[in-house]
Amino acid sequence: MTNIVRSTCPYCGVGCGVEAHTTDSGSVEISGDKRHPANFGRLCVKGAALGETLGLEGRLLHPEINGERVEWNLALDETAARLQAIIDQFGPKAVAFYASGQLLTEDYYAANKLMKGFIGAGNIDTNSRLCMSSAVVGYKRAFGADFVPCSYEDLEQTDLVVLAGSNAAWAHPVLYQRLVQAKQQRPQMKVVVIDPRRTATCEIADLHLALRPGSDAALFVGLLNILSSSQVDNTFDGQTAALEIAANWTLEKTADFCQLDSVDVQTFWQWFAQANRAMTLYTMGINQSASGSDKCNAIINVHLASGKIGRPGCGPFSLTGQPNAMGGREVGGLANQLACHMSFDAADIARLGRFWGSERIAETPGLMAVELFEAVGRGEVKAVWIMGTNPLVSLPDSSRVAQALANCPLVIVSDVARETDTLRYATVKFPALAWGEKNGTVTNSERRISRQRAFLPAPGEARADWWMVAQIAQRLGYRQAFNWQHPQQIFSEHAALSGYQNNGTRAFDISVLANLSREQYDALEPVCWPIAAEEPSLFRSWRPDGKFQLVPVEPCLPQAVADHVYPLILNTGRIRDQWHTMTRTGRVPRLLQHITMPFLEIHPRDAIRYGVTNKGLVRVASRQGGMVARVLVSDNQRPGSVFVPMHWSQQFARRGLINALVAGVCDPHSGQPESKQTAVRIQRW
C-alpha cells in the first residue's frame, strides 16, 4: 500500500510543494505537488532527488558530550548547567544562538523566545543573515516594515522582468521555469538580466547587462533620474534628496561607472519607464555587498517612484535563498528584530513581555552573524548553540571562525549529520530530526506559509530542535513558558502573538490561525500573509500614505579592489545541483555528476595572462586564505573577475573551502557580508 504525505521541499526559497509516496516496504518516492501554488507540480533536479537523500548513513543519532555518547537527560542536564554557570558568571550576553533558514518556524520561535525572551539578550542570529538581511533593511527603510510586495503569480502578469544579481535558472529553478513559461505564453514580455557573468538565466534575456561587479546601484539611481522627469507623481519621504543624487547620474556617467555600452543602459531605462508593469527580482548579487542595503533601496526607489508596485505584475521582489529564511524573519531569528517583526522599541518590548509573561526581554539588538563569531573569538561569547547550519563553511574568513570555535568553552551543535566541518568543534552534539522526520511550517519568498510534514519515523534518539530548546529552557527554570508537547502549540502561540495588542498597522498578522486544532494544523493548506488581504500580490492596505520612503542612495563600488598583488575579483555563488554545504545533496551520485569538484571560471584572456589552462588545477588565494580548484575557461566571465561556487567544504574537497578566502567585510546596516567581492590572485597548481 502507498501512503502519500504532502510536504515542502527543504532547499531553496521557492518553497515547492512535494508529495512523499511511502510504501509498506519503506521505499520513498518524491514527486511535485500539483496543488501547491508555488510550483503546481514542478520540481527541479535537487527536489526530484530528495528521495535519494533519506538514508541514515552519516546521521548523528545520539547525543554526545566531548565525543562520548550520553543519555538525553544527562546531555540536557549537563548543557543547561553549563549554560547557567556562564550566564551567572558573565551575564546573558555571553550566550548566543546561531540558527538557520533550514529550521522550521516552530524551531526558530522556540530558540528566539528562549534567547531574547528569557535568557534576556538579543544574541540570536542566523545564516539567513548571509543571504537576505540587506533586503530586509531595504524593505524596512522603504515601507516601514519587512514586507515583500509581490508573489509568484505576478510573473504571469508583468510586461518586464528585471533579474538583478540573480542566476534564477540555477538558484531558484522552478521559479525560473515559471518565468520561461510566462515568456513563451507572452513573448512580448521582456527580460533583462543584470549580472557581471553570463549565466544560464541569460538564455531567456532580451538584454544582458554584464556590468562591472558591484556597480548595480548606479543603474537604478540613473533610472530614477529618468523617471523623475516623467513619472514621479507621488510625494515620498526622502524624495528630494534621492532625486538630487539621481540628477547626477546621467546616461554617460552611469554607463561609464558600470562599464556598459550606453545604448544598452538607455534601452533598459526606456523599457522600464515605458512598461506598464515591471518587476525586479533580486537576490545574492545585490544583497551580498558592503552596500547591499542601499542597492536594495535603489531598486525599491524606482518601483515606488514609477508606481510599479502595489499592482498585479509589479514590484521589487527579493528572492530568499533558503526554505525558511522568511519564517526566521517572522519569529525574530535576526538579532536586530524581535518576534513577529517587532522592533527593539519600548512599546514592542513591553508588548512581548506581557505576551510571554517575562520581565527579561532583550532591550537591545544582539550580535549579527559575522560579529557574533568575532565575539566568540574574543572570548566575549562563551557559549554558542549552532542549530542546523555549518558556519565553518558558509561564513566568511572561515579559518577565524574555526579558531573562535576551538577556543569557545561551550559549543552546542544540533544537526542531522554526524560529520561536518563545524561539528569537529562541538562540545555538545544534539541529534536533530531531518527533513521527512520533522513537522512544522516554513515560509517561502512570496510569504507563503506551507507545512513540512513528517512521513518517516524519528531515527535513533533524534529529536525536534524545538523540543531540545524547550527541554533546556525548562531546566533553566522557565518551565511554564516552554511547556509545549507538539509544534501546533508553538505555531498557535506564534500566530496569536502576531495579533496580540496589534495596533492594526502591522503587515504581519496571522492571528486568524491561532486557534487551529491539531487536525486543522495538520491539514493546513499553503497560505500567504497578510491573510486578511483579498489578494496576496498586492499591498493595498499599504498604499502610499506618507510612510513610504525614497531612500537617497549614492552609488559606490565594492570595498574590495584589485591591485597588483591580488589582481582579480572573486565572485561566489551556487551551482544548479548542489545545496549549501552539500551535507545532503553531496550524497546523491547523480547530483554530483553535474559538477564534480570546485571550479574557477575565468575569461580566456585572463587564462592566457595568468598561464592557466582549461581543466588544469589552479590555486586561488586572497589575503585571508587559499584553495584549489579546476580551471574553467569561459567567455561567460568578465575579464578581471573569476567565479568559484560556494558549496564545497573540507569534507568534500580538501583544499576546497571558498569562504576561507572571503573577508568579513559587511554592510553597516544589515551586517551582510560582501561575499561577491574579494580580491584574489591565482597560480597554476
Binding residues vs ligand SF4 (CB under 6 A): 9, 11-12, 14-16, 39, 43-44, 46-47, 172-174
Helix axes 72-90, 465-475, angle to 10 degrees: 60
Q: Determine which helix (DSSP H) or strand (DSSP E) holds 23, and give its type and residue range.
A: strand 17-23
Cβ atoms 633, 627 nearer than 8 A: no
**Quick one: 43 or 372, whose CB is closer to ligand SF4?**
43
Q: How far is the CB of 20 from ligand SF4 (least distance, A)?
A: 13
Contacts of 366 (CB under 8 A, 6+ apart): 93, 96, 115, 116, 121, 122, 123, 124, 125, 335, 336, 372
Between residues 142 and 174, which has the closer beta carbon with respect to ligand SF4?
A: 174
- Name the minimum Å distance from CB 438 to ligand SF4: 16
Q: Which is nearer to ligand SF4, 212 or 584 (CB)?
A: 584
- Give the three-state DSSP class for 392: helix
Cα–Cα distances in angstroms (integers) from residue 60 to residues 234, 374, 416, 427, in the given order = 57, 28, 6, 14
Would you call 134 helix, strand, or coil by DSSP? Answer: helix
Number of Cα atoms under 13 Å in the Cβ half of residue 359: 0
Nearer to ligand SF4, 410 or 591 (CB): 591
Taking the least distance from each CB to ligand SF4, the nearer of 41 and 567 is 41
Q: Give every CB contact of residue 185 below 8 A, 6+ residues apart in sequence.
A: 156
Closer of 170 and 478 to ligand SF4 (Cβ): 170
Residue 11 Cβ vs ligand SF4, minimum distance, rounded to whole Å:
3
Smallest separation, CB 252 to ligand SF4 (Å): 40
Q: Please say which residue, 42 or 212, places its beta carbon nearer to ligand SF4.
A: 42
295 vs 580, beta carbon nearer ligand SF4: 580
Beta bridge partners of 281: 163, 317
> Are 246 and 270 spatial neighbours (Cβ–Cβ below 8 Å)?
no
Nearer to ligand SF4 by Cβ, of 43 and 135: the residue is 43
Residue with Cβ nearer ligand SF4 (485 or 593): 593
Give least dist CB 655 to ligand SF4, A: 28
CA distances from 33 to 43, 326, 444, 467 (A): 9, 21, 15, 29
Q: How far is the CB of 4 from ligand SF4 (least distance, A)?
A: 17
Q: From the CB of 208, what's the least distance to ligand SF4, in Å? A: 22
Identity of the residue, 9 or 481, whose beta carbon is nearer to ligand SF4 in the bound complex: 9
DSSP code at position 339: G
Closer by beta carbon to ligand SF4, 41 or else 307: 41
- Cis preceding linkage at 173, omega within 30: no
Q: Are 18 and 51 in contact (CB under 8 A)?
A: no
Name the minimum Å distance from CB 61 to ligand SF4.
26
Q: How far is the CB of 91 from ligand SF4 (least distance, A)?
A: 41
Helix axes 262-274, 251-258, angle to 10 degrees: 120
The distance of closest approach from Cβ of residue 47 to ligand SF4 in the complex, given in angstroms and rounded to an integer, is 2
All three cell numbers of 134, joined, read 540587506
Name the residue type at position 539.
F
**Least distance between ligand SF4 and beta carbon 83 (Å):** 35
Beta bridge partners of 571: 643
Task: State in angstroms the smallest separation of the CB of 175 from ligand SF4.
Answer: 7
Residue 100: DSSP 8-state: -
Is 258:214 a contact under the CB 8 Å cutoff?
no
Helices (H), 144-228: 168-171, 173-185, 216-228
Cell, residue 212: 562591472
- Residue with Cβ nearer ligand SF4 (17 or 292): 17
Beta carbons within 10 angstroms of residue 528's beta carbon: 20
Distance from CA of residue 222 to its chain's centroid? 28
Of the candidates 146, 253, 213, the residue with the CA atom closest to the CA atom of residue 507:
146
Closest approach, Cβ 579 to ligand SF4, in A, equals: 7
Paired sense of beta strands 68-69 and 95-99, if any: unpaired
What SS3 state is found at 130? helix
CB of 100 closer than 8 Å to CB of 387: yes
CB nearer to ligand SF4: pick between 10 and 530: 10
- C-beta closer to ligand SF4: residue 8 or 134: 8
DSSP structure string for 518-538: HHHHHTPPPEESSTTSS-TT-
680, burial (CB in 10 Å: exposed 0-12, middle 13-18, buried 19+):
buried
Q: How many other C-beta atoms can be found within 10 angstroms of the C-beta atom of residue 590?
A: 11
Q: Rounded to an integer, what distance in angstroms lies between the CA atom of residue 162 and that of residue 207?
A: 10
At 618 the three-state DSSP class reads strand
CB nearer to ligand SF4: pick between 105 and 112 = 105
Q: How far is the CB of 396 from ligand SF4 (least distance, A)?
A: 24
| Closest distance to ligand SF4 from the beta carbon of 253 (Å) | 39
Nearest distance from residue 576's CB to ligand SF4, in Å? 10
Closer to ligand SF4 at the Cβ: 44 or 275?
44
Maximum separation of any 2 CA atoms in the chain, in Å? 70
Nearby residues of 620 by Cβ (< 8 Å), 6 or more positions away: 570, 600, 626, 627, 628, 629, 642, 644, 661, 680, 681, 682
CB of 282 to ligand SF4, least distance (A): 17
Grid coordinates standing for 427? 562540545
One-letter amino acid identity for 193? V
Closest chain position to ligand SF4 (CB): 47
